[in-house]
Amino acid sequence: QEDGNNIKLTALPYYNYGKGVGLTSPDSLFQFNIRFRMQNRISYLKDEDKDAAYEAAIRRLRLRFDGYVGMPEIVYAIQLSFSERDVASGNKEERINIIRDAIVFYRPDKNWNIGFGQTKLPGNRQRINSSGALQLTDRSINNAMFNIDRDFGLHTYYLNEKTNQFSYNIKTAISTGEGRNWTQESDNGLAYTGKVELFPFGAFEGNGSLFEGDITREQKPKLMLSGAYHFNEKARRTRGTVGTLLFDQKNISSLLLDAMFKYQGWSFQAAYLSRMNNDPISVNPDDNTETTYVFKGMGTDAQLSYLFPTNYEVVGRYSYQQPHSDIENLHPTTNQLSLGVSKYIWEHALKLQAEVTNTQLDYLNNNDQSNWYVRFQVEIGI
């Protein structure tokens, strides 16, 4: 399961290229690998009702440490984030959010992978992908709205990927349901997540299901079909594990379906994401004019790309997002179309990305809006 000092962690698909840098203790009791990843970008924004603007920042800057303690069956993985948007993102009630992953795995054999700690839940494919292994500069609007993110708990995987034959993975998690680095009021409502991944024609080359684009130029067609269901009992936040606080606790469930196909430089991905809840509106008990709501609804993504032999890639993505009728007066229906060109210098470890995106927001009162951005991004990491 080790290749050089790269521990293959299907639970933590941090994209690797080459052999990375690492340290092993003189007595071989410890292994300690260090990685970093940085994403610098500039965007030109033109929203329909605003002046044009430039937005430029370090979108992501991550350090990752992984390795084993005592024996290769006991693996740890830590990921820290430092960029302003990563640290302060989401819920302002949380003071800080440096830790993304902090988990210890026990891997008794090549099939079982049992983790205790904080990492991504087995949710939609694009969220499980490292943000450093995307084809466009960021994930889709549906991922942003419906993904089930990271959580703290017991993560149990049965992995059974085989070359050139039907194979599958089963991934489950029992977690707090409150999301990353939660230290506020606790409750006895947990979250339960289950996912099945099917590979009808066998596993992708080079863990290809963990990154976007057909960088390995699959010689045979490869397909992944996956479905995840997540039930979050007594959730406290507008999007379950993420978002601002609700005034009361809600039971929230999610259904996340994905398909991924790659063949000879072509890649196609499709996704369906949804969130369900019976009474999405949450009213402040002290002031019933103040409300918030569970974002209930569904969305679909479709993404197609071709990688030229020069390692230039063209990619297009279309996303449709539909809030449920319970909240359709609170949130627009959204269509988004993105076109991108990428140059892979060292696969996803060093790439240049350009993207143009149009977003159509359709409000219930016919007050529609069309926004544009053009973005240039450099991704670099080891």
Where in 13-42 is the site for its own copies (CB under 8 A)?
A: 17-27, 29-30, 32, 34, 36, 38, 40, 42
From 78-86, 137-145, 253-261, 277-285, give the range in contact with its own copies by CB under 8 A. 78-86
Cβ(321)–Cβ(141) under 8 Å?
Answer: yes
Interface with its own copies includes 235 (CB under 8 A)? no
Tokens representing residue 197 in the block: 């991944």
Residue 165: exposed, middle, or buried by beta-carbon count in 10 A (0-12, 13-18, 19+)?
A: exposed
Among 12, 78, 224, 260, binds its own copies (CB under 8 A): 78
Mark 269-298 with x for binding to its own copies (rule: CB under 8 A) and - for no binding: ------------------------------
What DSSP assignment string belongs to 342-373? EEEEETBTEEEEEEEEEEEEE-TTS--EEEEE
Q: Where in 53-149 does DSSP place strands (E)?
A: 53-69, 71-81, 99-106, 112-120
Taking the complex as a whole, the smallest distance from the CB of residue 88 to its own copies amounts, in Å, to 4
* Smallest separation (angstroms) from its own copies to the CB of 30: 4
Closest CA to 82 of 66, 96, 94, 98: 98
Smallest gap, in angstroms, from Cβ of residue 79 to its own copies? 11
Name which position in 74, 341, 364, 374 contacts its own copies (CB under 8 A): 74
CA distance 369 to 125: 29
- Applying CB under 8 A, among 76, 146, 157, 293 the residue interacting with its own copies is 76
Q: Quick check: 229 binds its own copies (CB under 8 A)?
A: no
Best CA proximity match to 196, nearest among 228, 234, 236: 228
Residue identified by tokens 């926004």 is 371
Touching its own copies, residues 335-364 (CB under 8 A): 345-346, 349-350
Shortest gap between Cβ of 245 and its own copies (angstroms)? 16
Residues numbered 152 to 211 that lie near its own copies (CB under 8 A) are 152-153, 175-176, 181-183, 185-188, 190
Binding mask 87-106 for its own copies (x = CB under 8 A): xx-----xxxxxx--xxx--
Report d(CA 194, CA 168) in Å as an integer. 13
Nearer to its own copies, 84 or 290 (CB): 84
The smaller minimum CB distance to its own copies, of residues 166 and 312, is found at 312
Nearer to its own copies, 177 or 297 (CB): 177
Instruction: Quickly count: other Cβ atoms within 10 Å of residue 42's Cβ.
Output: 13
* 320 exposure class (CB count in 10 Å sphere: 0-12, 13-18, 19+): middle
Q: Which of 99, 223 has the CB closer to its own copies?
A: 99
Residue with tokens 């049992």: 114
CB of 96 to its own copies, least distance (A): 5
> What's the min distance (Å) between Cβ of 63 and its own copies?
8
Minimum distance from residue 165 beta carbon to its own copies (Å):
31
Burial of 92: CB neighbours in 10 Å, binned 0-12, 13-18, 19+: exposed
The answer to whether 233 and 190 have CB atoms below 8 angstroms apart is yes
- Rank residues 93 and 368 by Cβ distance to its own copies and give the closer one: 93
By CB under 8 A, residue 49 contacts its own copies: no
Q: How far is the CB of 352 from its own copies (least distance, A)?
A: 10
Kindly tell me which of 17 and 263 has the beta carbon lying closer to its own copies: 17
What is the C-alpha separation between 153 and 11, in angstroms, rounded? 13
Q: Which one among 3, 85, 112, 244 touches its own copies, defined by CB under 8 A?
A: 85
For residues 337 and 266, what is the distance between their CA atoms, to the nearest angstrom?
A: 19
C-alpha–C-alpha distance, residues 348 and 317, integer Å: 18
Write down the least CB distance from residue 213 to its own copies, Å. Answer: 18
Number of Cβ within a 10 Å radius of residue 220: 12
